[in-house]
C-alpha cells in the first residue's frame, strides 16, 4: 500500500536575556489515514494534539516548570489538518502517487532493575528510528504469547529527523531458564525484529556469598588456632 504524507515544520530561534539560544519547533503533518500536530523545544516534545480524544496533550515531565498552551490550540490543530489533507490530495496528483519513505526500526531489550530470581521486575523494549509510525509489538515467554502485564507508550517523534520511537514494557517475575522475547513488526522490515532476554543469576549476586562464606571459615580457623596456642602456653607455664 502506498502512503503519501505532507509534513510542515516551522522552527524559530529564541534568545533569552541571559544570551541562551533555544530552538522552538511547530510541526503539522498528515497522511491518508492519520495526522500529527506537535510543539517542541530544544529537540524535546512539549505537547501534541490527540485527535482520538479531542484535546491537546502536554507531555512535559512533572518536574518541569508548569506551562499550558492557550485555549484554542487544539481547534487550530484540527483546522491545520483540514488544510493539510487538501494540500495532500493536490500533491498526490501532481507527483503521481510517489512511494512513501520508509525507515526500519532498531530495538533494545533490558530489565528496569537488577534481576533477582523471584522478585517482580519489568522488561523494557525500546523501539526507535522507524517510519512510517505504524508498529506491532509482541511478547513471548518460552515461545508462548504473553499479553498480561504488557503496556506501551504513545508514539514519540524525533524532531531531528522525523522518525518515531516507542516503549513497550512487560511486568514479569524472573525464574531461572525463562526466555522472554520482544518481537517487532514494521512495514520497512523484511522479517520481524526480535530481541531475547535469558533469565540468569548475575555473578555479582553469587560471588559475595562465596567470599562471605570463605571469610567466615577463615575467621573461625584463626580463632581455633589462637585458642590452641593459648592453652598450650598455659600448660608450659
Give the pLDDT confidence of 136-172 residue by residue, as tens digits.
999 999 999 999 999 988 788 887 788 899 999 999 9
Query: Cα 24 from chain centroid?
Result: 24
Instruction: Report, as an integer, the average pLDDT of 52-70.
Output: 79
pLDDT at 39: 86
Instruction: Report, as an integer, the average pLDDT of 194-215.
Output: 61
pLDDT at 142: 96
For residue 230, pLDDT beyond 70: no
The tally of CA atoms less than 13 A away on the side-chain side of residue 189 is 18
CATH of segment(s) 6-95: 3.10.320.10
Peptide bond into 110 cis (omega under 30): no
> DSSP letter string over the chain?
-----EEEEEEEEEE-TT--EEEEEEEEEE-SS-EEEEEEETTEEEEEEETTTTEEEE---TTSPP--PPTTHHHHHHHHHHHHHHHHHHHHHHHTSPPPP-B--EEEEEESS---TTS-EEEEEEEEEEBSS--EEEEEETTEEE-TTEEEPPPEE-TTTS-EEEEEEEEE---TT-EEEEEEE-TT-SS-EEEEEE----HHHHHHHHHHHHHHHHHHHHHHHHHHHHHHHHHH-
The sign of the torsion formed by the CA atoms of 118, 115, 178, 122 equals positive
Rounded distance between C-alpha atoms, residue 127 and residue 107, angstroms:
4
Instruction: Report, as an integer, the average pLDDT of 198-221.
Output: 51
Give percent above pLDDT 70 in the chain.
74
For residue 183, pLDDT beyond 90: yes
Reduced 3-state DSSP string for 140-151: EECCEEECCCEE
> In the structure, what pLDDT confidence band is assigned to residue 23 with cuts at 50, 70 and 90?
confident
Give domain 106-198's CATH architecture: Sandwich (2.60)
CB 165 within 8 A of CB 128: yes
CB 67 within 8 A of CB 58: yes
Instruction: Report, as an integer, the average pLDDT of 113-142.
Output: 93
Taking the domains of the chain in order of start, what are their residue ranges? 6-95, 106-198
Mean confidence (pLDDT) of the chain: 79
pLDDT at 17: 57
Amino acid at each position: 500500500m502506498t502512503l503519501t504524507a505532507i509534513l510542515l515544520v516551522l522552527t524559530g530561534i529564541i534568545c533569552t536575556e541571559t544570551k541562551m539560544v533555544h530552538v522552538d519547533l511547530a510541526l503539522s503533518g498528515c497522511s491518508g489515514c492519520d495526522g500529527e500536530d506537535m510543539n517542541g523545544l530544544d529537540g524535546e516534545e512539549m505537547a501534541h494534539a490527540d485527535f482520538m480524544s479531542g484535546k491537546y496533550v502536554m507531555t512535559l515531565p512533572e518536574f518541569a516548570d508548569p506551562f499550558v498552551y492557550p485555549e484554542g490550540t487544539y481547534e487550530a490543530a484540527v483546522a491545520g489538518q483540514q488544510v493539510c489533507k487538501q494540500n495532500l490530495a493536490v500533491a498526490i496528483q501532481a507527483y503521481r502517487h510517489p512511494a512513501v519513505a520508509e525507515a526500519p526500526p532498531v530495538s533494545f531489550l533490558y530489565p528496569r532493575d537488577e534481576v533477582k530470581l523471584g522478585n517482580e521486575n519489568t522488561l523494557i523494549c525500546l523501539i526507535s528510528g522507524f517510519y512510517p509510525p505504524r508498529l506491532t509489538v509482541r511478547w513471548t515467554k518460552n515461545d508462548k504469547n504473553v499479553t498480561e502485564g504488557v503496556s506501551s507508550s504513545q508514539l514519540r517523534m524525533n524532531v531531528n529527523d522525523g522518525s518515531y520511537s516507542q516503549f513497550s514494557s512487560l511486568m514479569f517475575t524472573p525464574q531461572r531458564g525463562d526466555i522472554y522475547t520482544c518481537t517487532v513488526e514494521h512495514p520497512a522490515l523484511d522479517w520481524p525484529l526480535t530481541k531475547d532476554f535469558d533469565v540468569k543469576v548475575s555473578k555479582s549476586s553469587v560471588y559475595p556469598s562465596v567470599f562471605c562464606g570463605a571469610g567466615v571459615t577463615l575467621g573461625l580457623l584463626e580463632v581455633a588456632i589462637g585458642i590452641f596456642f593459648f592453652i598450650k602456653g598455659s600448660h608450659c607455664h
